[in-house]
Amino acid sequence: MVVKALKWVGEVDGFLELVDQRLLPGGFVKLECRDTEQLYEAIKTLAVRGAPAIGVSAAYGLVLGMQSLKSSESIEQGLQVLGESCEYLASARPTAVNLFWAIDRVRRKAEKFAAEKTEAGLVALRELVLAEAHAICAEDVEMCLRIGLNGEKFIRDGFHILTHCNAGALATAGQGTALSPMFEAHKKGRKFKVYADETRPLLQGARLTAWELQQAGIDATVICDNMAGWLMKQGEINAVITGADRIAANGDTANKIGTYSLSILAREHNIPFYIAAPSSTFDLSIKSGAEIPIEQRAADEVRNFAGTQTAPDGIDVFNPAFDVTEARDITAIITESGVIENPNIDNVAEHLGT
């Protein structure tokens, strides 16, 4: 079973239903986001997370933002509210580029519609925004499947795969990015084991990835983050597959904090290191990973564990949500349109057709 992380319910006056990932695996609860403030909070507090899922959710968030408009208001007023919703939701998280990609796509579509259909009213504009959000969602589902089909060949019978954080169905509208090749290999009857890093400080690997793999019937084992190197030393890891939140023009990749360390360990032990991500995760305006903005999160995420204080009051905390893996340490980037071997600025540009 592959869980569905998000779903739009109803028409233009509907709402966005999300699986509350803060409560997994102990409780499976769905949130109903009925305005942009609720969605902003859901994104900020990681009730919904994963770059593709954030992007799709934000697209639907623009539908929510326009629900405050009255039918008598003009299409120009609709565009103004849409723009305000875009700016508001874009401020929820700074690193995941899919967030900005999705809302920019909807806004551009709406502006073009308003310019070409000068006699169209607000109702038509709202319907267009919902249709575009649906299109982004449907494309994400297909994208996940294509990543899986392009990446399953890297998982052989008897392999032990290491993954970090959560890049499965909970992180997308479909079956995931990094986990998608695993789901496809499993469908083909291959027998393999997945080691899931717990992924401190919020345990997305232990709470979410392990839960997803267990639901799908895939052999999974949770390890503490600092055990990965020793497993590699023992010959227990055949490949590393992770997702990504932003990829620079040269192939440098931002992903959950701890990914960079795994890439160095993999290089040292001659283990292939794969990134699985959609084309929308590439940010060609950023030349290298040095320019990727890194989100800093609350100190209490580190000072506390499962509601118990684990560090002294007032102690300084450094809590970046992401780090950057250099392209030279990435064996290949698996996208929905193929595989970028030995990624660099030329290979990335050729793959994306730029």
Question: For strand 160-163 and strand 193-197, is the pairing parallel, antiparallel, or unpaired?
Answer: parallel
Catalytic entry in 140, 197, 225, 245: 245
H helix runs in 93-121, sequence order = 97-116
CB-based contact 151:181 (threshold 8 Å): yes
Residue 5 CA to residue 144 CA, distance in Å, equals 13
Strand partners, 161: 194, 239
Residue 56 CA to residue 52 CA, distance in Å, equals 6
E-strand spans in 237-327? Answer: 239-242, 246-248, 253-256, 273-276, 282-283, 304-305, 308-309, 322-325
For residue 291, count other CB atoms closer than 10 A to its CB: 14
21: its two tokens: 């990932």
- 245 noted as active-site residue: yes
Q: Which residues contact 21 (CB under 8 A, 6 or more apart)?
A: 5, 46, 47, 48, 49, 170, 207, 208
Residue 257 CA to residue 260 CA, distance in Å, equals 7
CB-based contact 77:125 (threshold 8 Å): no
Residue 135 CA to residue 149 CA, distance in Å, equals 21
Helix (H, G, I), strand (E, B) or coil at 115: helix
Which active-site residues does the annotation give?
245
